[in-house]
Amino acid sequence: MTQRAGNSDRRVFLVHFAALGLGSSLLPGVVWSRLQSGLEITPASLAAAEEIAGVTLTDAQREQVLRNVKGYRATIDALHKVPLDNAVAPAFSFDPLPPGMALPVKPRGIMKPSRVPLMATPPSLEELAFAPITILSDLVKRRKVTALALTDMYLGRLKRFDPVLHCVITLTEERARTQARALDAETARGKHRGPLHGIPWGAKDLLSAKGYPTTWGAGPYKAQVIDRDATVVSRLDDAGAILVAKLSLGELAQGDVWFGAVTRNPWWPEQGSSGSSAGPASATAAGLVGFAIGTETLGSISSPSTRCGTTGLRPTFGRVPRTGAMALSWSMDKIGPICRSAEDCALVFSAIQGPDGLDRTVKDVAFPWDASKSVKALRVGYIRSAFDLPERDPKNADRIVHGLKAYDDAALDVLRNKLGVTLIPVELPDINAQALGVILQAEAGAAFDEVTRNGRIDEMVQHGAGDWPTTFRASRFIPAVDYINANRVRTLALEKWRELFRDVDVIVTPTNAAGQLSATNMTGHPAVILPHGFREASVLGPGVAASAVAGEPWTPPATPAPSPRPQVPVSLTVLGALYDDEKALALAHAYQSVTDFHLRHPTLA
């Protein structure tokens, strides 16, 4: 084949993919609309498609390409006749490990939670609503509290406070009480399944639970029932955790607006809880569940954990099976716990991680957890430009304006002076995150292709420029060539982040530091998000910081005295190397062992 012929072929493919990317609802009369409707495809409609593809053809070349494009109609018709459930993944999988990098080898069978002080049954179970898993687990194990009593207490709180918070889509009362009774019978026989035995929890409603709706927070799926338990749900069943509610998420995992309402921040109910794990963060912060499970594609654990003051773990990509979970982006979706402490996250993560033989992205990597292990040997990096004064890095000037730098500086002081950590300055690699943006858009458009084409996307609540209906339609304009090349740029990003973690084990950063969230979601690195202060809501200024509490046993904490404006949390993020989730959790746990931010809770009327 001559070079000229080769160039012609490349133009054919470029125009072909551009043509396949034109949504009929966006540009009627152009190639895609005509292919679907059976109308004639003309040189003029092809010329319009060239603008999207970024190529220019001569009249002669356009006539040649036109014949090929007309021939694609049968192929497209055949494709649309194949039923593709959201659960069907592409025949390829994203691997965050750069070429030549091996999985870390770790000791197995190590699970050493913290030793907790013995606690008597409180006069009112409501006093346990905000207790960490470690306390609840010990009480259940010693038969001071029954699983059924905890279940009834949390179900009561869910019913009482959901009218304010709008964090519940479906209660799973019958399932929960049946589980609780069976677990109490096991306890009476001396059987204890582990630290999650008898702990009520809530699932983001994109995880399927047999016999109950799985709505994905979106109108087109309000009545959807998936006749199987998600892997995470069945694993938590096996661990003895009790599912009490399917919790809200923003429509198809975007934001905090769902078909029923806006999920609220329990610290300040005038404000949304952020998303898309809106319900899990809100319910956990409000003491309506012992813990919750969320998901993150591009900030959906990080953002609501920050807003609601919970501790969230976004695991390494490929550690928790997504079987039975709604797919938004096959190469970016991650499932993780939202809890009241880093150690709670470790306990839940231990139960849900590891291959299930169905999600091909999940690797078998041990998770050794020892809550007593010192963090002084960890090589701790910090993103210097995110903590420095704004004149040194104008991108972070807003942290001064919003009074957040004082909290960041205080966090570094805790790490240095209370934990004895030596901090190593680092900077984020430049990976051109904008160039990677088409990955999520293209995959999300593919995941919800049918509902976009059949028009049911119109049943969603939000239809703005940045909302999913518009994104799904616009995604059809992304040429496949550019999607593939964006993933090639992603390979370069993986190499750069591999280099960054050669000299450090973990990296500390303000959660909203410029660039870190999008970069680490693309590279698949783990993150722990934890509260590290409180400021006055909607006020520019430092607010009132919490005090340190060094090593005191847990007691139900008193809520700070009311101020003219509510106190809302701010957060810190600890990033880990790939598959080293336990190191990021260890530093977060150590930080929480000498501070009390995670012990504070909102007052709900």
Residue 23 vs residues 50, 75, 460, 463: alpha-carbon distances, Å: 15, 17, 18, 16
175 and 50 share one domain: no
Spatial separation of the C-alpha atoms in residues 162 and 264, rounded to whole Å: 9
- Dihedral of CA 452/454/455/461: which sign? negative
Residue 20 pLDDT exceeds 60: no
Mean pLDDT score, 275-292:
98
Q: Identify whether the C-beta of residue 20 lies closer than 8 Å to the C-beta of residue 32.
A: yes
222 and 334 share one domain: yes
Of 14-23, 56-65, 521-530, the range with the lowest mean pLDDT is: 14-23
Q: Compute how many other C-beta atoms are within 10 angstroms of the C-beta atom of residue 583.
A: 21
Residue 19 pLDDT exceeds 50: no
503 and 413 share one domain: yes
Does the residue 453 lie in any domain?
Answer: no
Spatial separation of the C-alpha atoms in residues 317 and 579, rounded to whole Å: 8
Position 546 scores a pLDDT of 33
136 and 66 share one domain: no
Q: What angle do helix axes 480-500 and 3-20 make, rounded to 10 degrees? A: 90
Spatial separation of the C-alpha atoms in residues 48 and 34, rounded to whole Å: 13
- Which of 25, 54, 82 terminates a domain? The answer is 82
What the block records as the tokens of 192 is 């204890």
Spatial separation of the C-alpha atoms in residues 376 and 330, rounded to whole Å: 37
141 and 251 share one domain: yes
Work out the widest C-alpha separation in the chain, in whole angstroms: 86
Q: Find where tokens 């009327």 sit.
A: 605
Residue 134 pLDDT exceeds 80: yes
Mean pLDDT score, 522-548:
72
Position 549 scores a pLDDT of 36
232 and 373 share one domain: yes
Position 484 scores a pLDDT of 95
Which positions ≥6 away from 485 have C-beta within 8 Å?
none
Does the residue 471 lie in any domain?
Answer: no
What share of the chain in percent tops pLDDT 70? 87
Spatial separation of the C-alpha atoms in residues 384 and 137, rounded to whole Å: 40
Residue 15 pLDDT exceeds 60: no
Per-residue pLDDT reduced to its tens digit, 402-417: 678 889 999 999 999 9
| Beta-ladder partners of 383 | 426
HSE-up of residue 433 (Cα within 13 Å, Cβ side) = 15
- Which of 44, 64, 82 terminates a domain? The answer is 82
Does the residue 349 lie in any domain?
Answer: yes
Residue 8 pLDDT exceeds 90: no
Sequential DSSP letters for 78-97: HHHTS---TT---S-----S
Position 67 scores a pLDDT of 82
Spatial separation of the C-alpha atoms in residues 583 and 591, rounded to whole Å: 12
Domain that holds residue 37: 1-82
**Is the entire prediction scored with pTM above 0.85?**
yes
Does the residue 108 lie in any domain?
Answer: no
Q: Which helix (H) or strand (E) holds 445?
A: helix 433-447
Residue 394 pLDDT exceeds 70: no
Of 79-83, 179-183, 310-314, 416-420, the range with the lowest mean pLDDT is: 79-83
Which of 262-274 are b and which e, b meaning 16 or more Cβ less than 10 Å from the residue's Cβ?
bbbbbbbbebbbb
Residue 192 sits in a domain whose CATH number is 3.90.1300.10
The pLDDT-based confidence of 51 (bands split at 50, 70, 90) is: confident
The pLDDT-based confidence of 431 (bands split at 50, 70, 90) is: confident
Residue 142 pLDDT exceeds 80: yes
Mean pLDDT score, 543-562:
42
Position 68 scores a pLDDT of 80
Question: Total structural domains in the chain?
Answer: 2
Spatial separation of the C-alpha atoms in residues 241 and 196, rounded to whole Å: 5
Position 441 scores a pLDDT of 95
The highest-confidence range among 3-17, 215-229, 465-479, by mean pLDDT, is 215-229
Q: Which helix (H) or strand (E) holds 283?
A: helix 278-285
Does the residue 117 lie in any domain?
Answer: no
Report DSSP state, residue 175: H
538: helix, coil or strand?
coil
Spatial separation of the C-alpha atoms in residues 103 and 76, rounded to whole Å: 41
Mean pLDDT score, 478-506:
94
Mean pLDDT score, 7-16:
37
Mean pLDDT score, 132-157:
97
Q: Which helix (H) or strand (E) holds 293?
A: strand 291-296
Mean pLDDT score, 488-514:
95
Q: Identify whether the C-beta of residue 79 lies closer than 8 Å to the C-beta of residue 450.
A: no
Position 103 scores a pLDDT of 94
Q: Name which of 64, 83, 81, 61 is nearest 73 in CA terms.
A: 81
Mean pLDDT score, 513-528:
94
The pLDDT-based confidence of 395 (bands split at 50, 70, 90) is: low
276 and 338 share one domain: yes
Position 539 scores a pLDDT of 45
Residue 389 pLDDT exceeds 70: no
Average pLDDT, the chain: 88
Q: Name which of 288, 206, 197, 214 is nearest 252 in CA terms.
A: 206
68 and 158 share one domain: no
Rounded to 5°, angle at Cα 373 from 367 and 375: 100
406 and 303 share one domain: yes
Q: Find where tokens 């519940």 sit.
A: 168
Position 178 scores a pLDDT of 98
511 and 573 share one domain: yes
Mean pLDDT score, 354-380:
97
| Beta-ladder partners of 575 | 507, 527
- Which of 82, 100, 122 terminates a domain? The answer is 82
Residue 581, Ramachandran bin (φ over 0: left; ψ between -120 and 50: alpha; else beta): alpha
422 and 552 share one domain: yes
Position 605 scores a pLDDT of 75
Does the residue 88 lie in any domain?
Answer: no
Residue 100, Ramachandran bin (φ over 0: left; ψ between -120 and 50: alpha; else beta): left
67 and 140 share one domain: no
Does the residue 36 lie in any domain?
Answer: yes
Rg (CA), the chain: 25
Q: Identify whether the C-beta of residue 409 lies closer than 8 Å to the C-beta of residue 365.
A: no
Q: Identify whether the C-beta of residue 558 lies closer than 8 Å to the C-beta of residue 600.
A: no
Does the residue 122 lie in any domain?
Answer: no
